[in-house]
Amino acid sequence: AMDTLQDLFLGFDTNPIRSELQWILLLYSGVMLAMVVDLIAGVYKAKQAGIARTSTGYKKTLEKAIKYFCPMLILTIIDLLTTPILAYPHLTMACALYCGYCEFKSVWENTHTKEELRKQEKTMNIIIDNKEEIAEALISVMTKKGDSTAMLIEGLKAIAKKTSDK
């Protein structure tokens, strides 16, 4: 039994099915390792930035695993069906490389970029929540005579003050 395990992990066999299963095991392990590295890096970055680590954030890792492994499983089945024609699991390999690339990009993403995205999201939420007041301010500026730029600025300042008080 020990020889069989050593053969499985240490050397690629000449049997095409066995060799393909070894490749598949290696590819799935690589994607799983990349996901673990991304999770650790994400927790570390969040800790550095003072961002709370919540269960929602951790659940994203599980959602990502589903997004990666479901298509990968389908491609693996196709690869296994084509083993007599193709010697290696090409489709699974391509999917694993894509998943690995996505994880690599995620690990190297700048925390600043993510913080900027959060700020943009907050700004858009404020605009959406106050769209009627902003429209009223713009209409009043366009219909009144006088220094319209100054009136617009004053109107927007009033809206900003109102939203910061909330």
Query: Minimum mean pLDDT among 23-27, 85-89, 160-164: which range?
Result: 160-164
Q: Residues 7-23: pLDDT tens digits?
A: 555 555 566 667 788 88
Residue 11's pLDDT is: 55
Q: Residues 49-58: pLDDT tens digits?
A: 787 888 887 8
pLDDT at 99 over 90: yes
More confident residue, 59 or 10: 59
Assign 3-class secondary structure to 40-107.
HHHHHHHHHHCCCCCHHHHHHHHHHHHHHHHHHHHHHHHHHHCCCCCCCCHHHHHHHHHHHHHHHHHH
Distance CA 20, CA 80 (A): 8
Q: Are 26 and 11 in contact (CB under 8 A)?
A: no
DSSP SS3 for 116:
helix
Residue 112's pLDDT is: 58
Residue 135's pLDDT is: 76
Distance CA 77, CA 92 (A): 9
